[in-house]
A and B are shown apart, each in its own frame.
Chain A
Amino acid sequence: MKQTTIGGNKRKAANILSFVGLLIIFIAYMFPFLMVVINSLKQKRDIIKSPFSWLYTIKGLSFDNFVNAFTQMDFLNAFKNSLIVTVSATVLVTLLAAMLAYYIVRHNNGISRLTFALMVASMIIPFQAIMIPLVSIYGGTLNILNHRITLIFMHTGFSMAMSVFMFHGFIKGNVPIALEEAAYIDGCTHSQTFFKIVLPLLKPIISTMVILNSMAFWNDFLLPSLVLTDKKLLTLPLSTYSFYGTYSADYGTIMAGLLLCVLPILILYVVLQKQIIGGVVAGAVK
């Protein structure tokens, strides 16, 4: 609906009005973030006195809070843990789901059909319905909790159904079987065909799935909190949680800590905004 010159004035007024309305809602939306940024540089006394501005502070502004939060949260270590878990699980689930989906599409046998049906059905099971037996099996019988690799394995398993579903739809619609047949005639093995011919064709859906899965893994709290208790292994959301528990009265440090957590994602978002928004929409609409 582009603006036309006919009846332009009324249209223009309506547009300005809705722009102003949107701007007000937008500022309200951003307000909490603004508060975090402003107060992360102030000392507790000034925050309590007036949380709104940088003016009239008694103790002035400084980066002390950030230094504090950075060391108290063991930020680098938690960041590293989150990165290892997120990257490994994302790579693993993307690859395994693409392979499984490819198998299911090309082999219409009983196992394929059963697995696919189970996966689609399982997507409505909320995590809470599985967490108790999960802890009981992996913590009790197998006793392998508190390892990074266990968490990576579980992230992979939980996002498998959704990922296979997405890859399945894409392969069915966009990967012509004739291409694979040509590859076989040229002497490719099955794995060569998959990795050299099929996988490159999956690029669009791979980028969607990488975005969706890595965001979910990076921000997940409940599953990691059940798997990891060793302080050295904590991911960012977990270390934020324990950090907050200890320093909740020290507002300045808390604000700096929260900002530190958010900053890496926001920087990535500024760079990859188009891809992230596109990925999220594609993931939801299918």
Chain B
Amino acid sequence: MRSKNGGKDFAMFALPGMFCFFAVVIIPFIYGVYLTLTDWNGVAKVKNFIGLKNFGSVMKDAGFWTSLLLTFKYVILVVVLVNILAFAIAYLLTRGMKGQNFFRAGFFTPNLIGGIVLGYIWQFVFSRVFVSIGESTGWKLFEASWLSDPSKAFAALVLVSVWQLSGYMILIYVAGFMGLSEDVMEAASIDGAAGWVKLKNIIMPLMMSSITICLFLTLSRAFMVYDVNLSLTGGAPYGTTEMAAMHVYEKAFTSRQFGVGQAEAFILFIIVACISGLQVYLTKRQEVEA
């Protein structure tokens, strides 16, 4: 595609795609930075320039910091649990057993369904099914709905997220295990490596690229959790399970403080970018070639 009429090529091949991208991502992003410096309420025609005042309001917004702290707790739990569970299941799945493909496909099912529907399904399970188990067995754990108790509602959110995300990570880990060289595994066994030693010294380093991907995906998804949060708990009871993404939404679209909301969204973005950047840098360094 090298010729004289480069302008026509550009207009036909590059421009439409670039237009969509710039109009929906780049321009709003830049405009968003400007919004953090105004006092816009979402309706008014005038936006007054107020400098860094919004960031001052963010500092004073206790709700935001509570939700951010909760989000950190949630992210750590979800990332650790999802990856351990998915790694273990993928390991079992690739040992040549029957029905491997069936299991793999089944575990992935939650990922086909939107978070809203998943949250509602689990809401029913927590508020009716588990309570009914509690009634007939007398187990204290299921006596009342988990969703009406702050710490249990948080646990429910973690549980559902782990359930939702692990199927996807199982796929990636399975692909990683299948890519392990038979020769290396055999050589390790002949040299007497088995069980924990083999896992730690041979398998883990070779699986590092899968681990990098899975950690990155779980981190960025967990940080931005919204759909399941909205439909499972809706922040209830009393806003104790409100995650950062939901807080930003409420701030902007319910409290109509667009400037403050955008400033909080921006801070969240910086945090996520730094943490996932650091994670990729750290785990990539551990990757080795077989």
Residues of B with C-beta under 8 A to A128: 224, 226, 245, 248-249, 265, 268-269
- Known contacts A1-B185, A244-B231; A111 and B112 CB within 8 A of each other: no
Instruction: Pull 27 A–B residue pairs with CB atoms less than 8 Å apart, ordered by A.
Output: A1-B94, A1-B182, A2-B96, A18-B92, A18-B97, A19-B97, A25-B89, A103-B1, A107-B1, A115-B18, A125-B25, A126-B220, A126-B224, A126-B269, A128-B269, A129-B266, A133-B29, A190-B1, A190-B12, A219-B113, A222-B226, A226-B253, A237-B116, A240-B116, A255-B124, A262-B113, A281-B175
**Are B265 and A269 in touch, CB under 8 angstroms?**
no
Closest to B114 in A: A219
**Are B116 and A221 in touch, CB under 8 angstroms?**
yes
**Are A103 and B14 in touch, CB under 8 angstroms?**
yes
Please list the 6 inter-chain residue pairs (A to B) with the smallest Cβ-Cβ separation, ordered nearest first.
Answer: A157-B24, A100-B17, A219-B114, A133-B32, A96-B17, A103-B13
Say how far B124's CB is from chain A's closest CB, in angstroms: 7
**Are A103 and B224 in touch, CB under 8 angstroms?**
no
Q: Which of B61-69, B125-133, B141-149 contacts A (4 or more CB under 8 A)?
A: B125-133
**A76 located at the interface, meaning its Cβ lies under 8 Å from any Cβ of chain B in the complex:** no
**B241 located at the interface, meaning its Cβ lies under 8 Å from any Cβ of chain A in the complex:** no
Contact among B40, B125, B168 for A35, CB-based, below 8 A: B125
- Known contacts A25-B89, A122-B25, A125-B25; A51 and B40 CB within 8 A of each other: no
Residues of B106-123 whose CB lies within 8 A of A = 106-117, 120-122
Contact among B24, B108, B253 for A158, CB-based, below 8 A: B24
Residues of A with C-beta under 8 A to B230: 221
Contact among A21, A26, A194, A240 for B120, CB-based, below 8 A: A240
Binding site for B on A (CB under 8 A): 1-3, 15, 18-19, 21-22, 25-26, 29-33, 35-36, 39, 47-48, 50-52, 93, 96-97, 99-100, 102-104, 106-107, 111-112, 115, 118-119, 122, 124-137, 153-154, 156-158, 160-161, 164, 180, 190-191, 193-194, 215, 218-222, 226, 237, 240-241, 244, 251, 254-255, 258, 261-262, 265-266, 269, 273, 276-277, 280-281, 284-285
Contact among A33, A96, A273 for B16, CB-based, below 8 A: A96
**B53 located at the interface, meaning its Cβ lies under 8 Å from any Cβ of chain A in the complex:** no
Question: How does the 8 Å CB contact mask read for B251-266 relative to A, with 1 for contact and 0 for none?
Answer: 0110000100110011
CA distance A113 to B92 in the complex (A): 44
CA distance A37 to B125 in the complex (A): 12
**Are A26 and B107 in touch, CB under 8 angstroms?**
yes
**Are A99 and B16 in touch, CB under 8 angstroms?**
yes
**Are B104 and A31 in touch, CB under 8 angstroms?**
no
Contact among B40, B98, B122, B213 for A136, CB-based, below 8 A: B40
**B236 located at the interface, meaning its Cβ lies under 8 Å from any Cβ of chain A in the complex:** no
Closest to A265 in B: B112
CA distance A244 to B230 in the complex (A): 12
CA distance A190 to B11 in the complex (A): 12
Residues of A with C-beta under 8 A to B2: 106-107
- Known contacts A50-B132, A126-B220; A106 and B1 CB within 8 A of each other: yes
**Are A161 and B21 in touch, CB under 8 angstroms?**
yes
Closest to A236 in B: B114
**Are B132 and A154 in touch, CB under 8 angstroms?**
no
CA distance A29 to B2 in the complex (A): 55
Residues of B with C-beta under 8 A to A153: 20, 23-24
Question: How does the 8 Å CB contact mask read for B263-286 relative to A, with 1 for contact and 0 for none?
Answer: 001101100110011000000000
By CB atoms of chain B within 10 A, which of A106, A126, A226, A254 has the most? A126
Binding site for A on B (CB under 8 A): 1-3, 6, 9-10, 12-14, 16-18, 20-21, 23-29, 31-32, 35, 40, 42, 89, 92-99, 103-117, 120-122, 124-125, 128-129, 132, 163, 167-168, 171-172, 175, 182, 185, 213, 217, 220, 223-224, 226-227, 230-231, 245, 248-249, 252-253, 258, 261-262, 265-266, 268-269, 272-273, 276-277
**Are A115 and B14 in touch, CB under 8 angstroms?**
yes
**Are B31 and A133 in touch, CB under 8 angstroms?**
yes
- Known contacts A29-B107, A103-B9; A126 and B272 CB within 8 A of each other: yes
Contact among B6, B128, B167, B224 for A107, CB-based, below 8 A: B6
CA distance A21 to B88 in the complex (A): 11
CA distance A13 to B124 in the complex (A): 38
**Are B29 and A122 in touch, CB under 8 angstroms?**
yes
**Are B129 and A35 in touch, CB under 8 angstroms?**
yes
Residues of B with C-beta under 8 A to A15: 95-97
Residues of A with C-beta under 8 A to B163: 29, 32
Residues of B with C-beta under 8 A to A35: 121, 124-125, 129
**Are B32 and A277 in touch, CB under 8 angstroms?**
no
Residues of B with C-beta under 8 A to A48: 128, 132
**Are A127 and B224 in touch, CB under 8 angstroms?**
yes
Residues of B with C-beta under 8 A to A129: 29, 32, 265-266, 268-269
Say how far B78's CB is from chain A's closest CB, in angstroms: 16
**Are A254 and B124 in touch, CB under 8 angstroms?**
yes
Say how far B13's CB is from chain A's closest CB, in angstroms: 4
